[in-house]
Homo-oligomer: A and B are copies of this chain.
Amino acid sequence: MKKTVGIIGANGYTGSELIRLLAFHPHVTLSFLYSRSNSGTRISDLYPDLTTVCEMVLTDKPEDVDIIFLCLPHKESQNWLTQNPVKDETLVIDLGNDFRLEGNFGNRDFIYGLPEINKKQLMGAKSIANPGCFATAIQLALLPLAEKGMLNEVFTTGITGSTGAGQSLQATTHFTWRNDNVSAYKTLTHQHVDEILQQLIAFNNKEVTLNFVPWRGDFARGIFTSSTMKTDLELEEIEQLYQDFYAEEPFVTVSRKAVDLKQVVNTNRCVIQIEKSGNVVVIHSAIDNLLKGASGQAVQNMNLAMNWEENTGLNLKPIAF
């Protein structure tokens, strides 16, 4: 029998992207789509691409379900769970940042939902804190070095699509401004740095510094990052580390060929490429910020928690072009 699912904050980008994924997932059925601000509206009126795919009406009355996804603005997941108690046996996956740094909340202990590091803990878990988008792209680029204690001071630049800024209309998501444009924001102070360092340092077993410069790109979907670091390792050693680390991972590919963003857009995949010159290594990584960086990874986590095949419902046709 199919498991029942509720999406809290279904009217936003990550919520609607979950609908696009779960509408065709073989083991679940959508029970309700929760939205306070758009209650009473048909989801396909907000997102016409969902016409015929999902014609549910948004509601502000949550129901008892097997699985709940929280797609709320940061800090509102805690409030929602407090106001809408959820049974202990319900799987809760939070796409916000409320439980990423500190997972204890009432009876629940949220597991950090990066499957490439916590796969065993995620299997059967009831509470999962889904990572941030930049946090996913940068951690996947650095984890194999961290596992060997090889990380030191990292300089990362990352560029993100406009969907990373959500659906609210802002000056920096106005088409006239953003088209053909590039700009920096939250230089050295992006909120994902703490999240990244907490994980990397746990692996690396010694201090790691991350100097992260995020840029806004003139595309809608995707994150591309390049991380630069000094190292004494040879390129072949590093590549081997990465190949070994990701050997069993269905969604991470370490490439010897040039990677680019569109290789992963509309997929749950991450591609990584490593280059080296002198004693400096550069690791590039690319993901779709709404999929491996948010809703796709949430489904991957759900699959693990429910002991389904990890890639169920995630064999997505890439946009490619």
Query: What's the nearest-Cβ distance from chain B to residue A231, in Å?
Result: 12
A100 to B275, CA, bound (A): 28
Interface residues in A222-258 by Cβ distance below 8 A to B read 222, 224, 226, 228, 250, 253, 255, 257-258
**Contact partner of A317 among B181, B213, B220, B317, CB < 8 A?**
B317
Contacts of A275 in B (CB 8 A): 184, 187-188
**Contact partner of A220 among B24, B47, B163, B176, CB < 8 A?**
B176
Interface residues in A263-284 by Cβ distance below 8 A to B read 263-267, 269, 271, 273, 275-278, 280, 282, 284
Contacts of A179 in B (CB 8 A): 162, 175, 179-180, 218-220
Contacts of A213 in B (CB 8 A): 157, 226, 228, 282
What is the number of residues of chain A that contact chain B, defined by CB distance less than 8 Å?
Answer: 84
Q: Does A262 contact B (CB under 8 A)?
A: yes
Contacts of A280 in B (CB 8 A): 188, 211
Cross-chain contact B319 with A221 (CB below 8 angstroms): yes
Total copies of this chain within the assembly: 4
Chain B residue nearest to A226 (CB atoms) is B213
Query: What's the nearest-Cβ distance from chain B to residue A245, in Å?
Result: 16
A278 to B278, CA, bound (A): 28
Cross-chain contact B159 with A176 (CB below 8 angstroms): no
**Contact partner of A282 among B13, B182, B187, B277, CB < 8 A?**
B187
Query: What's the nearest-Cβ distance from chain B to residue A312, in Å?
Result: 12
Q: Does A40 contact B (CB under 8 A)?
A: no
A48-B255 contact in complex given A163-B176, A181-B261, C-beta closer than 8 Å = yes
Contacts of A277 in B (CB 8 A): 187-189
Given contacts A184-B282, A187-B284, 6 further A-B contacts (CB under 8 A): A21-B317, A23-B315, A182-B260, A183-B258, A188-B276, A316-B317
A-B contact pairs, 29 of them (CB 8 A): A16-B320, A23-B315, A49-B263, A51-B253, A51-B263, A155-B211, A157-B213, A157-B226, A162-B175, A167-B176, A169-B174, A173-B174, A174-B175, A175-B177, A176-B220, A179-B179, A179-B180, A179-B218, A180-B261, A180-B265, A181-B261, A182-B219, A183-B259, A184-B226, A184-B282, A184-B284, A187-B282, A188-B277, A189-B277
